[in-house]
Structure formats: C-alpha cells, structure tokens
Amino acid sequence: MDAAEASARWCVVTGGRGFAARHLVLMLLRSGEWRVRVADLAQVISLDLDEEQGILGAAIREGQAVYASADLRDKAQLAKDFEGAEVVFHMAAPDSSINNFHLHYSVNVEGTKNVIDACIHCKVKRLIYTSSPSVVFDGVHGIFNADESMPYPDKYIIGDGNNYYDFTYVENVAYGHVCADKTLSSEDGAKRAAGKAYFVTNVEPIKFWEFMSLLLDGLGYQRPSIKIPVSVMMPLAHVVEWTYKSFCKYGMKVPQLTPSRIRLLSCNRTFSCSRAKDQLGYEPIVSLKDGLKRTIESYSHMQAQNQRSISKTSILLGNGNVAKTLLWEDSKQTMTVLLLLAVIYYQLFTCGYTIITAMAKIFSLTALFLFIHGMLPANVFGHKIEKLEPSNFHISQVEAHHIACSVSSSWNSLVGVLKSLCRGNDWPLFLKVVFFLLVVSILSAMSSEAAFKIGIPLIFIGFKAYEKWEDTIDSLVGDACSFVLQFTPIQISSRQKQT
C-alpha cells in the first residue's frame, strides 16, 4: 500500500447497491472527501449504462470507489471489508416483502451484531446505522410529529387513520447520513450525538392519497376515485396471506394485498426531525415539490402511454395465473378451470342443494382428496408428488390475534355506520346501506345453483369485457358518480370542512 493509498479516507456503505445507499455513495463521491467501498451481497458489481458513464463508473476506474462482496452473516468477510475504514454506513437489509423470518432475523439482528463486532475489530471510528420509522409504528395509531422518544410498540392493532405521511426524498436521506458523519467526527458533536436515533424527513407532511394522486397525475394516470373501507379490505388481506403461506411452496407469487400493506396505506405516520436539525445541522436539500418532479422524470418509462400493453384489469387481478385464467390469456388453463367448475356444478348443484349441504359435500370431497393424496408415494411414474404439510393448516397465535383484531375492527366500523345513520344527516351513507342490504337480500334469496350459474359466467365474461372496454366503462362510472354527487352538495362540503 503506497503513501497516497494509506492516507486516503475510506468509508464503507453496506447494502451499497440499494436505492437510498446508491444516492449516499454518489453524494460521498461528489464531496471529494472520501474513497468509498461499496459492499453488497452480489459477487460482482453490475452497473447500468447511466452509472457506467457517470460518477460511480468514473470513480471505480480511478480507484476512488471499489466494490466488495459482503454477506452480513459472515463476520470474517465483514472484518476484511471494513479494514482501514474511518466510517461505516450500515444500510443493508433484505427485501421486506420476503416472508422469511429466519432471513430477516439472521440479517437484521445477527448481521447487525456482526457489523458492530467487525467495526470494533477494525477500529472503525464511526458507525452510522440506517433504520426505519416502521420500528415505532404499531400498525394503527396515528403518529403525528413524533420525536425520537417514542417507544417501540409490542404488538400490532388493526384500525383506521387519516393517512398523513412524511415522505422523504432519497437525497435528503443521504444528506442526513452525511450530516451525522460530520457531527460525529468532532469531539463536541460526538458527545452530543453518539448513540442517539434521529428522524430525517422532508418536513412537509402530506395526505398519503394526495401524494399518490400527484404522482399518478405526473405519470399520466387517473386518480383513484373509489374508497374502500379498511374493515372490508383487512379480512380479505388475511385470507390472501394465509393462501400464500399455504401454497407458496408450489410457486405462488408474493401477493400485493397483505395485512401489513393495508396497515401502511391506512394509518398516519408523521415525524419531527427537530433533533436532527438541532444536533446534526440537518435541513432538507430537496423540497417535496422538487422531489416529486425529479421522481416523475426518473420514471418517465412508466408514463401511462408506455404502459398500455398491461391492462388495469390484469393489474387488478395480480398479473399472474388468476389474470391469465379470467382474461383468457392462457386458453388451455382457462378451459381446464372451466372444466373443473363444470364437474363441481354437476356433482353439487344438479339436485338443487342448499348452500349448507353443498358446503358439506365440498368438505367431504376435500377430505377424500387429502386422504388419497396422503396415501400416494412421493414419486408416481417418475412424477414427484408434493406433500401437504400439517403446518399449512395451522394458524399461529399472531395470525389468530390479527384475525380477531380484524373482526373487532369490522364490528367497530359497523357500529360507526350505525351511529352515523342514527344522527339522520348522512343521506349518501343511508343510500349505500340500503343498496348493500338490497344486494344481500337478492343474493340470499338465490339457491346455490342459481348463484353458481350467474356468478361464474359473470366472472369469466365480466373481467374480459371490462378489459376490452375499460376506458368506456370508467368514463360511464365517473359520469354516474358525478351525477349522484350533484344531489349531495351540502354533505360533501361539510365533510371537506371537517377534514
């Protein structure tokens, strides 16, 4: 190692190929104060064209940046990567959508312990750890301007919220790390800031759906206009999550509709970054308006006119096997499902069974299938038979708690509707309740055979028809909603004033 190499100030960014970490790496390189060691899980770094021709590519060619393959679960590898570093920015974490407790624990908990041990072993002067505001989020209670003294929750509770969020532009996140390092590099700053947690935000709280509408407008998409209560979506999300846990081993993709995402979409999360301002000298360097503009420009390839190949119906159905079946994209698969449904119909409904009798026969057939499936050997004529584990049918204590909370939340929402009706001043709500009860009465009057005859064709024809004429149907629905809203101006204005 020559003198220039020895005197260089090196820093390490773990998870350096992640979204926020990439911006921090670029900010550190632009400062001219650091040589950056980009540590990530991949064996080699893969740069896209913009990176190759930009600051990072030039820095790698000039030796101002190097890539290091690092697994947080390998302490020896971390010690090697941290050698000679003055500061480590720990930003690595697995994808939160991956439903694997062992992975998250081994990386987020054990991996972070390894990072700390490696820093001590290599005598790294400063370690700056990136966390998430989700650690203080209990899943339901609104968080308004919370500071760092807010305690960690011990459980999740399902409920509603006003949907205020503190969105933070990624360059402000990177700048917060730089401010933390500069503060910790001085003796007074270290005494003031070492070991403390800091919230970093844009200091511009905004309603979640207002933010999403601005983003959709910028990309040329229509704003969402239909509101669905959390009490309706949460039970569905639990069913989807249970289905995924039962069938993920057979290739089922991670669903978009999960309880955790419903909670994130329906609750308030705003935070105070006064401590970061006072102790780290942090101030947002990119406003929310400019951040939105830059984001839209960065994702110009996702403009509405470039996405016409994927219909809204397909996206609604998950753009997977369900979409392929109901939209007739895979004719063989669709015909197989229709044949299966026809067999079910002739077996269960030709005699006009009641719903209870039909369900009993379905459970009987299911039990017979499971019994025969359990008797089959692991290999039949060269074809491997996947066995269903008993754990697929178990419900953990946490899941049972979530389901109970969901039922409780639905009941409380129903009570809230009844309270509003008792006040006698919400005509739109009254009409919705009347319409809902009318639909329920019609459906309950049907035999299971009639429901099957009507429901199955509607599903297989309705989604396909909507995909073909979705713009026309959306326009008609929008006009109808506007027509109905013309008769409720007083109620609408009063709600707007309340919000």
* pLDDT at residue 287 is higher than 80: yes
Q: How confident is the model at residue 156 (pLDDT cuts 50, 70, 90)?
A: very low
Q: What is the pLDDT of residue 380?
A: 72
Instruction: For residues 69 and 110, state if they share a domain.
Output: yes
| Poorest-pLDDT segment among 57-71, 200-214, 218-232, 385-399 | 385-399
Instruction: For residues 99 and 60, state if they share a domain.
Output: yes
Instruction: For residues 106 and 148, state if they share a domain.
Output: no
Instruction: For residues 15 and 137, state if they share a domain.
Output: no
Domains contained in the chain, number: 2
Does 452 reside within a domain?
A: no
Instruction: For residues 139 and 118, state if they share a domain.
Output: no
Does 51 reside within a domain?
A: yes
Residue 178 and residue 172 in contact, taking contact as beta carbons nearer than 8 Å: no
Q: What is the pLDDT of residue 86?
A: 94
CATH number at residue 102: 3.40.50.720
| pLDDT, average across residues 411-426 | 76
CB-based contacts of 414, cutoff 8 Å, min separation 6: 231
Q: Last residue of some domain: 290, 309, 328?
A: 309
* pLDDT at residue 266 is higher than 90: no
Q: What is the pLDDT of residue 495?
A: 37
Residue 174 and residue 23 in contact, taking contact as beta carbons nearer than 8 Å: yes
**Rounded Cα gap, residues 354 and 360, in angstroms:** 10
Q: How confident is the model at residue 13 (pLDDT cuts 50, 70, 90)?
A: very high
Q: What is the pLDDT of residue 97?
A: 66
pLDDT by residue (tens digit) across 338-357?
Answer: 887 887 776 666 666 666 77
Q: What is the pLDDT of residue 174?
A: 93
Instruction: For residues 91 and 69, state if they share a domain.
Output: yes
Q: What is the pLDDT of residue 348?
A: 67
| Poorest-pLDDT segment among 130-139, 204-213, 232-241 | 130-139
Instruction: For residues 5 and 49, state if they share a domain.
Output: yes
Q: What is the pLDDT of residue 407?
A: 73
Instruction: For residues 2 and 145, state if they share a domain.
Output: no
Instruction: For residues 58 and 141, state if they share a domain.
Output: no
pLDDT by residue (tens digit) across 289-339?
Answer: 999 999 888 877 766 555 555 667 776 676 667 778 888 887 888 888 888
* Percent of all residues in the chain with a pLDDT value above 90, rounded to a whole number: 24
Q: Last residue of some domain: 130, 162, 188?
A: 130
Q: What is the pLDDT of residue 177?
A: 93
Instruction: For residues 11 and 46, state if they share a domain.
Output: yes
Top-ranked range on mean pLDDT: pick from 84-98, 157-171, 281-295, 368-382: 281-295
Q: What is the pLDDT of residue 77?
A: 92
Q: What is the pLDDT of residue 458?
A: 83
Residue 382, both tokens: 């060269």
Q: What is the pLDDT of residue 269?
A: 79
**Rounded Cα gap, residues 365 and 347, in angstroms:** 10
Domain extent at residue 8: 1-130
Q: What is the pLDDT of residue 150?
A: 61
Q: What is the pLDDT of residue 95?
A: 79
Instruction: For residues 136 and 263, state if they share a domain.
Output: yes
Does 259 reside within a domain?
A: yes
Backbone angles phi, psi at 408, to 5 degrees: -65, -40
**Rounded Cα gap, residues 483 and 436, in angstroms:** 20
The single residue listed with the structure tokens 């003198």 is 3
3-state SS record for the chain: CCHHHHHCCEEEEECCCCHHHHHHHHHHHHHCCCEEEEEECCCCCCCCHHHHHCHHHHHHHHCCEEEEECCCCCHHHHHHHHCCEEEEEECCCCCCCCCCHHHHHHHHHHHHHHHHHHHHHCCCCEEEECCCHHHHCCCCCCEEEECCCCCCCCCCCCCCCCCEECCCCHHHHHHHHHHHHHHHCCHHHHHHHCCCCCCCCCCCCEEHHHHHHHHHHHHCCCCCCCCCCHHHHHHHHHHHHHHHHHHHHHCCCCCCCCHHHHHHHHCCEEECCHHHHHHHCCCCCCCHHHHHHHHHHHCHHHCHHHCCCCCHHHHHCCCCHHHHHHCCCCHHHHHHHHHHHHHHHHHHCCCCCCHHHHHHHHHHHHHHHHHHHHHCCCEECCEECCCCCHHHHCCCHHHHHHHHHHHHHHHHHHHHHHHHHHHCCCHHHHHHHHHHHHHHHHHHHCCHHHHHHHHHHHHHHHHHHHHHCHHHHHHHHHHHHHHHHCCCHHHHHHHHHHC
Instruction: For residues 112 and 143, state if they share a domain.
Output: no
